[in-house]
Structure 1
């Protein structure tokens, strides 16, 4: 093989006239193209290919196989594992694929592979519709969907993948296929939870739901002294919601004062009067700030954007917890979080979030019905650490893992429960690191996924996400 420049000149010629762009380090727009949500995921790729259609992707995949070039796929660029960036190879960038179309008769939404949730929310709202999407609207539709997808509407309609009707996907072979319940059903099973291992999704078709009215949502901010009462009310919420509500309880030490606060994010899909009556106990508890109000649904997924900007280094982590929680336990976890964050510079925007999104609807599907294996009688707990000093990378990662392990085990999720398919694994794949074992994320589904990986990607071309090694061939003499 010749020089890097010569190699990618061949690719440029191959894609000529298609609308695709092949950017190299000296190209205009290259630096912008390698920006990621987390600064520690910014890597100097040899080339970034901004594809414009499925044929571009197919040709690029054949090219990287022929020239043995490592590659990644970039949608929204939100992964904190670095799975959408690379130093020594090529990025297939889907950012040109941003079209969203709505079928008002069928009540479906079709979103191209490079869309972000803002694209979907705004277009669907024009027709009084919505689907289950991410709570930060600059998150990529593809990444969230392929890993499962929780949102404010999960309590009513299940996960994003429960509302996924079909996926157009370019396989490792370069073939474009449509996976659905009736077309490539085994692939469709795998895509819903482990999709990043099987190809490049060029579009998603979702079931939409009527959402013509505004919702009541926003954060209440409390001083830490109110944490025991907040835990008590969260325990009460667990028994009283009907799927049209969701809350999150978060720890943070926001700048400029870096003083610890407790944030309670409210959501109520209904009129303001009903919402305020439902959340009366929280509202009467005495928040130092109340920013909850009525708003259009498409604004809902912007509420956390200010805390999820593109500056700084970031690390996702995930675990699970059951309600009721013990207030003493939560105070202890809060104390450890605050001590760690305040002992280090510029970490005040970090958060630990107990996500209390009703799960009865999502549990109507069993963990064996698709690759996703995190359905159970529990909720997700997440850490989102943010810092600026690269020297803290390893320290933050280890602390996050330890904190989440303590939170999960002390809150009732034991290692034995994690391997029980009926209960779920207790780790949301989109919060996991790529070094997690397949059984940690997929539980009893890992074996079937290995077999399907061998069927659809026997050379393990898509190897940069969660490690799902293809099952070895058995040679019979």
Structure 2
């Protein structure tokens, strides 16, 4: 009887749906439809609604609400926590809604929620423009923006969410609205870094900035034994660095690639990846300081097309690999903190992993703590333990390493918070990433989703009016 009821429900949705409805009966299409970037995520939704447009999204939301299905929303499906899929629920898949419309004279771009940053870069760079996005090109624009969005341009032009001008949203009651500074202002505030549980954003409008076509970048690898000294040099350089510079030092292991000296393959290393968001000539001069932090093992720095920089890390993050990332912010990189970060990194059980330190400050820190939902803006550093592995037999050891490392770093008074997009598997309270903004977010939730229709992942419960 339950099976018959489910079939009737599916047919009810299909009758008013233009896109495809995929259920477990639709093998092998179903396995493709439920698969996301993180191979560790293996969930089985009751159905996947592949939306062709806003009308499909409204139909899917109304159906899920009326039949009490948990909802997951998939944009690019790249979120490390697996928020794009849910067991026994309905996945609203926006991937077919993949379009990019640039208005170069206005310095604006409108983007469908199924687009990736690679899609956006390709179109905006045709006009010498860019929106601050992520550092892997097949990351979806939707999840990254709603969680903040840290990338190579962050210190010059801010986070992805700081460049959001408006957002088209289907709310929990199936209504369509546009949120901006002038309309549904509180919802617009929440969408800028507050996560995605306030409605389904179907389109994003961004400000663009003059970037490229070529940019200066540094990508230099030093011996792992130099890690403490390199991080101390980074600590001395970072506070006075020009806004055009955004650096990302990370502890890693030298890959077995011909670009690296064979004698160094497999060795621990400390690498620094950075971008200069200005004229390449000035950038190359400025980044020489970074390249001289120690004697390099390999140095790939230079001037390259911006779109090439944006795809540089893609091969390191293939779809289907296992990923588990957890983060926090640091108010200082004193010697004790540096030593602890390096000690944690050295205990990592898998060499595909990295320990990343994101340089903060610049434009990110000049937005007030409560101007958007994104919190901890004043933190000068973000720390991310990024476990990446291919052998499922290593899963338990790798997750334990990340959790133990984060717990150890949280003991330092310099540590606080969590980046929305790097939350492990969301083990902590959903309030942790939002700091003092959590209460206001809960009130927005009460206004736009009082019945908690969007509750499957990273959710803040509706709060008091």
Whether contact under 8 Å (1:238, 1:323) holds in the other structure is no
* 1:85 partnered with 2:85: yes
Secondary structure of the structure 1 residue equivalent to 2:377:
coil
Q: Which residue of structure 2 lines up, in the alignment, with residue 355 of structure 1?
A: 358
Distance 1:155 1:64, change over 3 A: same
Q: Which residue of structure 2 lines up, in the alignment, with residue 267 of structure 1?
A: 275
In 2, the alpha carbon distance for the partners of 1:291 and 1:29 equals 41
**Deviation (angstroms), 1:191:** 1.2
Report the TM-score, using the length of structure 2 for normalisation.
0.91
Which residue of 312, 337, 358 corresponds with 2:345? Answer: 337
In 1, the alpha carbon distance for the partners of 2:127 and 2:80 equals 34
Secondary structure of the structure 2 residue equivalent to 1:196:
coil
Secondary structure of the structure 1 residue equivalent to 2:431:
helix
**Deviation (angstroms), 1:31:** 2.4
Whether contact under 8 Å (2:217, 2:287) holds in the other structure is no
Give deviations 1:46-77, integer Å, cap 9, x for gaps. 22111011110111111112222222111111
Secondary structure of the structure 2 residue equivalent to 1:288:
strand
**Deviation (angstroms), 1:235:** 1.6
Which residue of 404, 421, 444 corresponds with 2:436? Answer: 444
Gaps of 5+ in 2: 257-264
Residue correspondence of structure 1 range 364-443 to structure 2 within 5 A: 364-390=366-392, 392-407=394-409, 409-410=411-412, 412-414=413-415, 418=416, 426-433=417-424, 434-443=426-435
Secondary structure of the structure 2 residue equivalent to 1:265:
strand
**Deviation (angstroms), 1:392:** 4.7
Distance 1:338 1:175, change over 3 A: same
In 1, the alpha carbon distance for the partners of 2:266 and 2:455 equals 40
Give deviations 1:337-371, integer Å, cap 9, x for gaps. 22232xxxxx21111101114x1322222111122
Give deviations 1:366-390, integer Å, cap 9, x for gaps. 1111221121142111111023454
Secondary structure of the structure 2 residue equivalent to 1:353:
strand
In 2, the alpha carbon distance for the partners of 1:208 and 1:88 equals 39
In 2, the alpha carbon distance for the partners of 1:466 and 1:124 equals 31
In 1, the alpha carbon distance for the partners of 2:379 and 2:9 equals 52
Distance 1:83 1:368, change over 3 A: same
Q: Which residue of structure 2 lines up, in the alignment, with residue 21 of structure 1?
A: 20
Give deviations 1:404-451, integer Å, cap 9, x for gaps. 3433554x525xxx5xxxxxxx32111124333243122222222222
Whether contact under 8 Å (2:116, 2:141) holds in the other structure is yes
* 1:458 partnered with 2:441: no
What RMSD, in angstroms, separates the aligned Cα atoms of the two structures? 2.1
Distance 1:33 1:152, change over 3 A: same
In 2, the alpha carbon distance for the partners of 1:271 and 1:210 equals 11
Residue correspondence of structure 1 range 39-118 to structure 2 within 5 A: 39-118=39-118
Residue correspondence of structure 1 range 227-376 to structure 2 within 5 A: 227-256=227-256, 257-284=265-292, 285-326=294-335, 329-341=337-349, 347-357=350-360, 359-376=361-378
Distance 1:171 1:287, change over 3 A: same
Secondary structure of the structure 1 residue equivalent to 2:196:
helix
Whether contact under 8 Å (2:100, 2:119) holds in the other structure is yes
Which residue of 445, 467, 477 corresponds with 2:459? Answer: 467
Give deviations 1:310-346, integer Å, cap 9, x for gaps. 13211111111234432x64344323322232xxxxx
In 1, the alpha carbon distance for the partners of 2:315 and 2:238 equals 28
Secondary structure of the structure 2 residue equivalent to 1:68:
coil
In 2, the alpha carbon distance for the partners of 1:395 and 1:40 equals 14
Distance 1:324 1:316, change over 3 A: closer
**Deviation (angstroms), 1:186:** 1.1
Whether contact under 8 Å (1:321, 1:407) holds in the other structure is no
Secondary structure of the structure 1 residue equivalent to 2:206:
strand
In 2, the alpha carbon distance for the partners of 1:405 and 1:219 equals 30
**Deviation (angstroms), 1:273:** 4.2
